[in-house]
A and B are shown apart, each in its own frame.
Chain A
């Protein structure tokens, strides 16, 4: 089957989108979440189960501890407390662990072993997945149910000193706090002194219930000099002293208090042998956890057992029970049983029951077949036993039998808890490698196919042979399918963790496998063809050496450099700098080309004596003196460009010379408009200046001028009808902004009522649809009528102007200059650079792509989810409606790439004489977009245990996926335009 290069590229990108979607689904496992997360109404606690006789204990059990102090030491690895270092440097803690009234554990943290997710895990008892971050749009506030929220609701007074991450996570939860920043890693004394200095006073006071201390110094020392540095010992001794001070103070207080107090010593994550953390090695995962309270039994001398291994999430449930609070909803941890061991059996059972009920509720919300889960069965069983026990307990008060039965029920409960907790936590932590592999394979196969078909697709005919029937008869195809399905069966039946690709219906999974093997066959056949043709060419002597112009070289190097830069987290954070840099360099390269054509155009290349004889002899000569080689092709183009140049008037020549500089100036101004990225985000920029309420007048003038400029730039090629519509639409945009109070309106002075601007926005939507409709109508008419070309050009331009109008509505008013400059740069480049210099289709396409990317960042976007302007999704809508809101937000975010791509269609269909230009452009666009995506997928897979995987790499992955989706839409649009042309003779 023969396909146009454009159609082929569109299909490829569509398959790639599928691959990326599967990959993303595997990369971001769904979180374990109770169904009623958003509502926080107080549920009544589960009553004590009872068979027949009614138990009167329906309220929450009272707190076990009066005051609780949590001393969290960042990067407190287990051997710092329980190992030789602990014995040496932390004598008091060692004494408490070995003989005192304490319980010690090795708490296992789940990767990513980074502070913020770990704090969330400690306080919510859940395992934070990345999806949480997206769901909260990077809002740092912890919205999930957690111990601190419950404590606050119960009227407990919480005090916090230490890492300011807590203050961001729990704003307004603390009655008193002092945050220290962890920004200066080289400081390891001040950060801790800033925490300790408060202790003296606080420990004397009575007005708190929960005190949280987060010490950062140990982690900083680890980052600086590793876990074996002598500084570690000093720091541990210091911490030991602090802990002793707190413990003494608590003990002295306890005498007059009713309830005992609890001191918790814990770490958030461990420390690897190099001193960093983030991944999942044993050293990073194991943390120390020591609970100290006089309520616990003192241990006999010489009883030095190795501490039990527990999960870090278990602390949340324990704290909740200890403070007499409801267990956080999404908790997957279980109560640390030794803590309640000293209590009467009835209370112990009650605590365990509460925990099990909470876990089983969570299981019901997340697993469809929860009734078959062994944990749930165990829970039902133990609940029944518990009920029987209560009945017997209420009847006959105490006996030996009752105690024995009670301990049996306890064991049953503990088993149930363990099974439930395991099956819940298994769902979140692991990457679903199988789905990731399937997605990555699809994407890479498509990329290979695209790369292999470059020579064919960029040939003048721009058509490709896609062998669709041959795979059906090839052995390879069936073998691959067989192997793939064998792998599928093996993986899906053996794996313990849930896997998305396995849970897909068989038909869909089979389809994906079919696609994979078909692609493999296509690649193999394309490869053989290339090799064969290369051999044939190899026999011919002297293939014409096409020399790359400086611009091609820049484009190639720029693309490569960009891909390489994706491996560094800073370059991803500051990706806008890469694009600005590339675009500036592109402008300078264009400037150089323009100058050369201008000054040397008439007598250019005097040394090159070959241009009279551009034939095989010329090519031969070129090969011989490589330094002087000017290939015939390149030479022809330069000639043509130079002669085209000469035909321009002197005024236009001057414009040609000036336009790259004008573009550079434009870009520099836009750079100052929105500071984005991480390092520069806090710097003052024009955008903030404009949006501050003092400068509303300036913003209004700017917005009005920008809208006027948009009209002037767009109207010149529109039909009269759409000119009027455009003018009214832009007026409507201003009215909308005035109505919602962004800009001042000239006709409502001093009137401060701010509406949602629904009417105005819908007024603009009407014109957007009108212009798009006229454009489509013109395009359709061009298929049948004789005046095809003109109607087509006008139709395309109208679609373009409709998109511009929509962008003007959705962009924030201070970003309107971005839209204007985008239009201005497009006009300048098209008229004075691409046309006179006769750039090839591939070059023009890549330049459009680069500019599109740069404008994406000019608008204030970055690779951080937080910069997405969500408000665009509410323009003209009464309330949140999912489909239009998502569409509008996506359009507003990707305005730059979309507008540039649609300008590309316009430019090529109006200027280019070659009938295959659009197909070439589509192919190039698909290729240039899919290379970074594929490279990035491989990178992310290999860096999945990187320290910044959740904060930097994952959001970028989402952006890349979305960008690919937009690209697919653009490619389909290209192909559609190409089809309308094909039908014309």
Chain B
């Protein structure tokens, strides 16, 4: 049971990593002079869309969480709309936090917002897919000892690693190397992406390594 779960998790994560990698290479076939650094905003949009799509497809197909009892169409639509609103809210929240962290308020607002979008894609979208629009469940998962399945455990790891990645990504900005990737918000988005990918890669391994110690209350 457990090993098959871990294997499924691993495949899912590989798929996500693959989508991130593809989003850097595929567009250059269709778009002229596309590169991650120079047309950064385009890349951000493409990466965000592809990661969201993969997440959605995957969770619709695999359904790691138990299906809810009520499954009327209106309920589903309401749930979907709620998810959308949550996603937008998280984007705005991140934007506000970035500004509070010192991002410029007026200039580069689009860049900042797209950074917020990509960070939401890496963190909020998986949460929404797995846990649904349920703040209590989110808080439970992200407090200590609150996880109840390996899915939630991996969600915790990837989310935290994305945050840490974007946090660390801010460090090179003040250095005077004058590299193109030191411009706001490129280093942060790259940091978030690397953090996300690292989280995706590490979490199945970590769970596999600690599978003896991990006991979840509900299964």
State the A residues within 8 Å of B (CB). 568-571, 573-574, 577, 580-581, 584-585, 588, 595-596, 599-600, 604-608, 625-628, 630, 664-665, 667-668, 671-672, 677, 679
Contact = CB atoms under 8 A, between A and B. Distances in A.
Contact of B102 (A577, A605, A628, A630): A577
A625 B213 contact: yes
A672 B136 CA distance: 36
Given A581-B102, A581-B170, A605 B144 contact: yes
Contact of A668 (B99, B143, B144): B99
Contact of A605 (B136, B145, B213, B214): B145
A596 B174 contact: no
Interface string B133-161: 00110011001111000000000000000
A679 B214 contact: no
Nearest to A665: B100
Contacts of A577: 102, 173-174
B69 interface: no
Contacts of A569: 176
Given A665-B100, A668-B100, A679 B174 contact: yes
Contacts of B219: none
Contacts of B175: 568, 570-571
B104 to A, nearest CB: 9
B30 interface: no
B139 A599 contact: yes
B167 interface: yes
Contacts of B45: none
A625 B170 contact: no
Interface core residue of B97, B145, B146, B217 (most chain A CB under 10 Å) = B145
B174 A671 contact: no
8 contacts: A570-B174, A573-B176, A580-B102, A596-B143, A599-B136, A627-B210, A628-B215, A664-B100
Nearest to A576: B174
A584 B101 contact: yes
Interface string B99-119: 111100100000000000000
A607 B167 CA distance: 30
Interface core residue of B144, B173, B214 (most chain A CB under 10 Å) = B144
A588 B97 contact: yes
Contacts, number: 65
Closest 9 CB pairs of A and B: A574-B174, A570-B175, A607-B145, A570-B176, A664-B100, A668-B100, A584-B101, A627-B213, A577-B174
A584 B139 contact: no
B160 to A, nearest CB: 10
B173 to A, nearest CB: 8
Nearest to B176: A570
Contacts of A627: 210, 213-214
A607 B146 contact: yes
A671 B102 contact: yes
Contacts of B173: 577
A588 B173 CA distance: 21
Nearest to A625: B213
Chain B binding surface SS class = loop
Contacts of B170: 581
A585 B163 CA distance: 11
Nearest to B170: A581
B145 A628 contact: yes
Chain A binding surface SS class = helix
A601 to B, nearest CB: 11
B172 to A, nearest CB: 9
A608 B173 CA distance: 42
A584 B174 contact: no
A626 B144 CA distance: 12
Interface of B: 97, 99-102, 105, 135-136, 139-140, 143-146, 167, 170, 173-176, 210, 213-215, 217
A952 to B, nearest CB: 11
B97 A600 contact: no
Given A596-B143, A628-B145, A668 B102 contact: yes
A166 B170 CA distance: 37
A600 B102 contact: no
A630 B144 CA distance: 9
Nearest to A550: B144
Given A584-B102, A627-B214, A668-B100, 14 more contacts: A570-B175, A571-B174, A573-B174, A577-B173, A577-B174, A580-B101, A581-B102, A600-B143, A605-B144, A607-B217, A625-B213, A628-B213, A628-B215, A679-B176
B145 A608 contact: yes
A595 B145 contact: no
Contact of A630 (B139, B145, B176, B214): B145
B75 to A, nearest CB: 25
Contacts of A671: 102
Contacts of A573: 174, 176
A677 B176 CA distance: 12
Nearest to B146: A607
A596 B145 CA distance: 13
Given A596-B139, A607-B217, A627-B214, A585 B146 contact: no
A604 B144 CA distance: 9
Contacts of B146: 605, 607
A569 to B, nearest CB: 8
B219 to A, nearest CB: 13
A581 B139 CA distance: 25
Contacts of B101: 580-581, 584, 668
Contacts of B140: 600
A124 B101 CA distance: 47
Contacts of B97: 588
Nearest to A571: B174
Contacts of A581: 101-102, 170
Contacts of A580: 101-102
Nearest to B167: A585
Given A570-B175, A570-B176, A584-B100, A625 B144 contact: no
A605 B175 CA distance: 42
Nearest to B213: A627
Contacts of B217: 606-607
A828 to B, nearest CB: 15
Contacts of A606: 217
Nearest to A592: B142
A737 B105 CA distance: 32
A595 B97 CA distance: 16
A580 B167 CA distance: 13
A605 B145 CA distance: 7
Nearest to B173: A577
Nearest to B101: A584
Contacts of B105: 672
A600 B100 contact: no
Nearest to A628: B145
Contacts of B102: 577, 580-581, 584, 668, 671
A667 B210 CA distance: 41
Contacts of A667: 100
Nearest to B218: A607
Given A574-B174, A625-B215, A605 B100 contact: no
Interface core residue of B100, B140, B213, B214 (most chain A CB under 10 Å) = B100
Contacts of B174: 570-571, 573-574, 577, 677, 679
A400 B123 CA distance: 98
Nearest to B148: A607
Nearest to A584: B101
Nearest to B145: A607
Contacts of B215: 625, 628
B213 A604 contact: no
Contacts of B139: 595-596, 599-600
Interface core residue of A607, A625, A628 (most chain B CB under 10 Å) = A607
A628 B148 CA distance: 12
Nearest to B140: A600
A628 B143 CA distance: 12
A255 B24 CA distance: 72
A677 B146 CA distance: 43
Contacts of A630: 144-145
